[in-house]
Amino acid sequence: MKDDRTLRAARRIAALIREDVDAHFSLRLWDGSVEPLGQAVTPDLAIRIAAPGVIASLLHRPSLDRLIRHYAKGHIEIEGGSMIDIAEPLAIDRPYRRRFKKLRRGPLMRSLAPFFFAKGAHPDSTRDFGTDAEGAGRREGDNRRFIQFHYDVGNAFYQLFLDPEMQYSCAHFPHWGATLEEAQVNKLDLICRKLRLKPGETLLDIGCGWGGLLCHAVTHYGVTGHGVTLSEEQMAFAQAKVERLGIADRVTLHLKDYREMEGAFDKISSVGMYEHIGLDNIPAYFQTVRGLLNEGGLFMNHAISRGAKRKKTKFSSRPEQRALQKYIFPGGELDDIGHTVSEMEIAGFEVQDVEALRQHYQYTTREWCQRLYRRRAEAEALVGAETYRIWAAYLAGCSFAFQRGSARLYQTLASKSPKGPTAVPPSRFDIYG
């Protein structure tokens, strides 16, 4: 009888959304029935709720973390499409979003009343980093644990949605109709052109990942490459790749913290690594990089950023950032580009160029999400259904963050000294001409 009350209440909520919002998807209830949430819903696209206790749980303790855990456990499921298919129309259609905000509160709260008194379903914990995911009190060796948690989920998993070059960073689309494969190769070449790589030079790639940039630079620009990573999975893949390509004599890979590197290099790149170091470590990071760079050298820093705030609070105070740190990127923090440039100058760099690539990352992460969705069965066989769902939500969330502008992406090129001539020509024709 109690279950009948919650079913009737859920159907009243669906009718209210159908009338006030006219959504593009349906709701599948725990008894298997389907309630369209609009007049012309996308066929088969639905959010499935496993039990009335799921709604009760979210009402009793509403939080993004609890929502993620219910989704990871399959208590909430998306049928007939990906999270992109559900949320993207809402993200890009302002009138649609406004209709959700105008949903009648009184009838909605009365319909929700039975769930307030229902027993909530407990969302058991799922794969997460546990304590200190924000990296507070970061100690020596923590960076290795943080990186391995994220990247050592397995190379085979990343191969399901990345391009053949295994580029797990923002692509650069020459036009919006380009494929991800084309855009990632274009990104690699863009970085090489910005660094003005020349045959015989030495290139250090900090956080070299699966070796894509190093292999491209060595093969197409004739440099000698050096890469450093903390991921054993990435190291093994990159080493096998350089041997397969026959360039092992021109590429040296190191499984160590970048702070342990010695020597001096003509050019240095850091792509998607800056987000991992922690805000408190930025001054030491730039000082270390500058110490590894030869006089007259160039440094490319490619990093996700956030918008600058009047009040200097840690980005990790936001619920979505705490969730990201707990389930995906432990220890990760985002800087704003103004602070990044200031810290570069304080460390002794001269900033030569800053390019914004926000929309490029929106398209990149969207494509990753859709590719992972299309290979869902393989992903679940490799890492399990929970990890697949966490990653699907993460990639979709990233795409929406870049679409909204709450996350940005910048490539910043700097030379070692603000005195005398630099390795940068008087125009950018060599990059974009």
DSSP assignments along 63-76, one per residue: -HHHHHHHHHTTSE
Report how far residue 282's alpha carbon sits from residue 108's, in angstroms, rounded to the nearest whole number: 48
First-to-last CA distance in the chain? Answer: 72
**157 pLDDT exceeds 60?**
yes
Average pLDDT over residues 255-274: 95
Q: Tell me the Ramachandran region of residue 137: left when phi exceeds 0, alpha when psi lies from -120 to 50, beta otherwise.
A: left
Average pLDDT, integer, range 309-324: 60
- State what percent of residues in the chain have pLDDT above 70: 87
398 is catalytic: yes
β-pairing verdict for 350-356 and 408-415: antiparallel
| Number of helices followed by number of strands (H, E) in the chain | 18, 12
Q: pLDDT confidence of 127, banded at 50, 70, 90?
A: very low
pLDDT, position 332: 67
Radius of gyration of the chain (CA): 24
Of the pLDDT bands very low, low, confident and very high (cuts 50, 70, 90), residue 423 is: confident
Give all strands of the β-sheet with 76-79 in edge-to-edge order. 34-36, 26-28, 46-49, 76-79
Average pLDDT for 44-62? 94
Judge contact between 298 and 267, C-beta under 8 A: yes
Mean confidence (pLDDT) of the chain: 88
Which residue type does 272 have? G
Q: Are 413 and 350 in contact (CB under 8 A)?
A: no
330 DSSP assignment: T
**How does residue 404 score in pLDDT terms, banded at 50, 70 and 90?**
confident
Kindly state the average pLDDT of the residues 278-282: 91
Encode burial over 363-391: b for 16+ CB neighbours within 10 A, e otherwise: bbbbbbbbbbbebeeebeebbeebbbbbb
Burial of 144 (0-12, 13-18, 19+ CB in 10 A): middle
C-alpha–C-alpha distance, residues 289 and 273, integer Å: 12
**Dihedral sign from CA coordinates of 80, 83, 87, 92:** negative
Q: So what's the pLDDT on residue 330?
A: 56
Portion of the chain with pLDDT greater than 90, in percent? 65
β-sheet bridge partners, residue 279: none
Closest CA to 9 of 110, 119, 101: 110
Query: Hey, how many other C-beta atoms are within 10 angstroms of the C-beta on 114?
Result: 21
Tell me the mean pLDDT in the region 273-288: 93
Give me the pLDDT at residue 143, please: 47
Pairwise CA distance, residues 350 & 344, whole Å: 7
- When comparing pLDDT for 63 and 46, which is higher? 46
Does position 148 have pLDDT exceeding 70, yes or no?
Answer: no
Looking at per-residue pLDDT, the higher value among 217 and 396 belongs to: 217
CA distances (Å), 85 to each of 39, 65, 71, in order? 17, 22, 16
All domains in the chain, ordered by first residue: 2-116 (no CATH), 142-432 (3.40.50.150)
Q: Which residues are CB-contacts of 28 (< 8 A; sequence separation ≥ 6)?
A: 34, 35, 46, 47, 48, 49, 79
Q: Which of these is catalytic: 170, 208, 215, 398?
A: 398
Whether 71 shows a pLDDT value over 80: the answer reads yes
- Residue tagged 């490539």 (tokens): 411
What pLDDT, on the 0 to 100 scale, is given for residue 144? 47
Q: Is the pLDDT of residue 91 over 90?
A: no
Residue 406: predicted pLDDT:
85
Task: Note the Cα 417 to chain centre separation in Å.
Answer: 32
The pLDDT assigned to 272 comes to 92
Position 66 scores a pLDDT of 84
Name the residue among 421, 331, 414, 395 with its Cα closest to residue 145: 331
Give the model confidence (pLDDT) of 6-52 as tens digits.
Answer: 999 999 999 999 999 999 999 999 999 999 999 999 999 999 999 99
The pLDDT of residue 278 is 86
Q: pLDDT at residue 366 above 90?
A: yes
Spatial distance between the Cα atoms of 196 and 202, rounded to a whole number of angstroms = 12
Contact between 408 and 340 under an 8 Å Cβ cutoff? The reply is no
Least confident of 113-117, 291-295, 359-363: 113-117
Residue 136's pLDDT is what?
43
Give the pLDDT mean for 294-299. 95
Over residues 215-231, the mean pLDDT reads: 96
Q: Which long-range contacts (CB under 8 A, 24 or more apart) does 167-175 make?
A: 167/209, 167/212, 168/209, 168/210, 168/272, 169/209, 169/271, 169/272, 169/302, 170/272, 170/302, 170/357, 170/360, 170/361, 170/364, 170/409, 171/360, 171/361, 171/363, 171/364, 172/357, 172/360, 173/360, 173/363
pLDDT at 172 over 90: yes
pLDDT at 233 (0 to 100): 87
Cβ of 94: how many Cβ atoms within 10 Å? Answer: 9
Provide the pLDDT confidence category of residue 76 given band limits of 50, 70 and 90: very high
